[in-house]
Amino acid sequence: MILSCQNISKSFIDKTVLKHVSFHIEDYEKAGIVGINGAGKTTLLRIIAGQQKADEGLVTFAKDVSFGYLAQNGAVDTQNTIYTELLSVKQELIETEQKIRQCEQDMQGKEGDALESLMKQYTLLTHHFESQNGYAYQSEVVGVLKGLGFSESDFQKPVSTLSGGQKTRVALGKLLLQKPELIMLDEPTNHLDMNSIAWLETYLLNYKGAVIIVSHDRYFLDKITTKIIEIDQSACTVFQGNYSDYAVKKEQLRTAAMNAYLNQQKVIQHQEEVIEKLRSFNREKSIKRAESREKMLNKIEVLEKPTTVNSDMKLTLTPYRESGKDVLNVEHLAKSFDTQTLFSDVSFEIKRGEHVAIIGDNGSGKTTLLKILNGLLPADAGSFTLGSNVEIGYYDQEHHVLHGEKTLFDEISDDYPYLTNTEIRNVLAAFLFTGEEVFQLIGDLSGGERGRVSLAKLMLSNANLLILDEPTNHLDIASKEILEDALNQYTGTVLYVSHDRYFINRTAHRILDLTHGQFVNYIGNYDYYLEKHEVQMTALEATLPSMETPVNDSTESDTKLDWKVQKELQAKQRKRENDLKKCEDKIAELEDKIAELDKQLSDPSIGTQVAKLQALSKEQEALKAELELKYEEWEALA
């Protein structure tokens, strides 16, 4: 066991956030913490990390355990470049490498005891350097940076010039390179695109340590976790398995708990009716019986009503009027900023009732495209046309549709005066605004809270084409599910940008992948996209100018050419995989040989045999040089 939390409790003023929370984390375990916004997930992580004090309870780490914690907006602010900031994590290895080089220089021309002393120092240094994977630390830094979405052209940018999201990615990279025995991450996927999230999933799955993740990314939790820790009504329940396993078990427990609660409420109501009836007889015996029953009733431990998504809070989206069959037609659209071309010659069409998700790397132009379709930005070339009776409802991340001087309640009631007070409160409650919170000023809300209000307004609009930019950002899992159900029942048309793969999987009929400045069409949800992605990419790469397409007889059909290109690429891929396997085997063989030489160099029986030590050291250096080349080869292949 690497971590134990026993009876952790925490309150803020009159609100109890955590109450007697207990769980433990085993070595190498991957655990997810889930719960609605405000449940206390981040507070729990801060208590474990020592950044906040619990009111009571005990956090216990195994002896000498190292841990790292990355907050939701954890960031670095330094004049270092991105590369040197991450390289600073390897400072101890850099210094060790410098000492090794110095030792090598000092050994030149030395003999006797002086040489023997240097050789021992050299052996210890190289053994430590090797055990810490020192020969690959630069490749490791580059691999982490690229995995987190930084290109080589970004490496020399000062960290201080980056956006908040980019700084958080740098902080995440530093934490991963430190390799603590326990990593704690709070919403790590918030600032990552899909490729980076997929890379992080693989990294954490193979991480030789324990991981605790707070996340609303259900797809991410499904991939990584083997245990789910749920915070619900201040209490903690532990479920074995990933998020999908948890969701099934949770629903079963919720149903059982609700049945138990309803049954108990029936019993209580029946007893209260009997007591009331006995008292109404107004006789000594009946009054005594009533008092006896009342005492029994007071001894009952009343069950708390389980948290559940209230049926009144489910959103129903109904277009005011139906659009024509052809909703949107985009032809040869292009957009660039300065020297950066986002997309060119983009064409697609959307039919009535389709739910289309746009995906792609950060900075590929997804949000720009939505702004062009809403008339907020001009296109450089091309055009688009809306079909008959099409009315757009747009959700953007800047929330231009809100009025800072209004309360949340007035923001909804002024635009939709036909709604009752209860209906307005139910809509706001679905987006996590309850009680007196509905009378907060819009201007006092955080960015995430404003996003939720914008989404609530959009859901009430009469639009028949919803255009949404990252609609699930800042929503907890329960709110995402409400939105998913609403969109799935929506008879209008939906076009949205999202990085939430679970959300896409549940709501998309079609996916447009913006890659290489073009749209690749997938007629299905995210699982279908994953299934067909490699084949589609192979076909796309075959058409790009950088690819050398074989030229055959002019009578050969385009289909045959495409098939031949695909086969050739598949053959190259198989060869690359074989070369990669051979390279990995050779690296393992060289590392074993170097380790064996380390043992020999550390053997006291040959400590005075200078000639033999020099020969072994020379052999080891040659193997290390070969290993370094193999690492470079592996990096290129991988």
**416-445 residue pLDDT tens:** 898 899 989 988 887 778 888 899 998 888
More confident residue, 555 or 350: 350
Rounded CA-CA distance 251/264 in Å is: 20
User: In which domain, by residue range, is 592 found?
Assistant: 558-637
- Indicate if 57 and 206 belong to the same structural domain: yes
If you average pLDDT over residues 343-371, what whole number do you get?
90
- pLDDT at position 29 is 95
**CA–CA distance from 89 to each of 124, 203, 334 (Å)?**
22, 18, 42
On whether residue 132 sits in a domain, the answer given is: yes
- pLDDT at 485 > cutoff 70: yes
- Identify the domain boundary among 176, 193, 226: 176
Distances (CA, A) of 33 to 44, 200, 243: 9, 18, 10
Could you tell me the CA-to-CA distances from 92 to 125, 129, 178, 179, 634 in Å, in that order?
A: 12, 9, 11, 14, 25
Q: How confident is the model at residue 559 (pLDDT cuts 50, 70, 90)?
A: very low
Q: What is the pLDDT of residues 153-199, one digit of tens each?
A: 889 999 988 877 788 889 999 999 999 999 999 999 888 888 889 89
Comparing 554 with 155, which gets the higher pLDDT?
155
Is 346's pLDDT higher than 70? yes
Please check whether residues 259 and 229 belong to one and the same domain. no
Q: What percentage of the chain exceeds 90 in pLDDT?
A: 37
Domain membership of residue 71 (yes or no) is no
List the CATH number of the domain containing 465: 3.40.50.300
CA 381 to each of CA 347, 370, 373, 378, 581: distance values in angstroms, whole numbers, following the listed order:
12, 15, 13, 9, 47
| Alpha carbon distance 278, 288 (integer Å) | 9
Q: Does residue 591 carry a pLDDT above 50? A: yes
Q: Within this chain, do residues 463 and 525 fall inside the same structural domain, yes or no? A: yes
Evaluate whether residue 274 is within a structural domain.
yes
Domain end call among 241, 270, 285: 241
Summarised one tens digit per residue, pLDDT across range 22-55 is: 999 999 999 999 988 778 999 999 999 999 999 9
Q: Classify residue 115: in a domain, yes or no.
A: yes
Which has the higher per-residue pLDDT, 391 or 110? 391
Q: Is the pLDDT of residue 600 over 70?
A: yes
Q: What is the average per-residue pLDDT within 491-516?
A: 92
Domain count, the chain: 5
> Is a pLDDT exceeding 70 seen at residue 495?
yes
pLDDT value of residue 316: 64
Considering the domain architecture, whether residues 269 and 380 belong to the same structural domain is answered as no
| Percent above pLDDT 70 for the chain | 91
Q: Using the predicted structure, report yes or no on whether residue 537 has a pLDDT greater than 90.
A: no
- Report, as an integer, the average pLDDT of 480-501: 89
pLDDT at 550 over 70: no
Least trusted range by pLDDT, from 8-12, 287-291, 439-443: 287-291
Question: Do you know the residue count of the chain?
Answer: 638
Same domain, 495 and 527: yes
| Residue 547 is assigned to a structural domain of this protein | no
Residue 630 sits in the same domain as residue 490: no
Q: What is residue 545's predicted lDDT score, i.e. its pLDDT? A: 59
If asked whether residues 166 and 277 sit together in one domain, one would say: no
Note whether 514 and 343 are within 8 A (CB). Answer: yes
Query: Both 493 and 345 in a single domain?
Result: yes
pLDDT of residue 403: 87
The reply to whether 20 falls in a domain is yes
Residues facing 393 on adjacent strands: 466
Per-residue pLDDT of 618-634, as tens digits, reads 888 888 878 777 766 76
| pLDDT at residue 107, rounded to an integer | 85
How far apart are alpha carbons 57 and 10 in whole angstroms? 9
**Are residues 93 and 47 part of one domain?**
no
Q: Are residues 520 and 411 in the same domain?
A: yes
pLDDT at 216 over 70: yes
pLDDT band at 476 (very low <50, low <70, confident <90, very high): confident
Partners of 18 in beta bridges: 10
Q: Are 392 and 468 in contact (CB under 8 A)?
A: no
Average pLDDT value over all residues in the chain:
85
The pLDDT tens digits of the residues spanning 381-407 come to 999 999 999 989 888 766 667 888 999
Q: Which of 176, 193, 223 marks a domain boundary?
A: 176
pLDDT of residue 7: 95
Residues 6+ apart with CB under 8 A from 371: 377, 396
pLDDT for res 456: 82
Residue 345 pLDDT: 86
User: At 82, which amino acid appears?
Assistant: I
| 402 and 447 fall within a common domain | yes
Domain assignment of residue 553, yes or no: no
Give me the pLDDT at residue 175, please: 93
- Reported pTM: 0.67
Q: Is 321 contained in some domain?
A: no
- Residue 83: pLDDT band with limits 50, 70, 90: very high
| 577 has pLDDT over 80 | no
Indicate whether 51 and 166 sit together in one domain. Answer: no
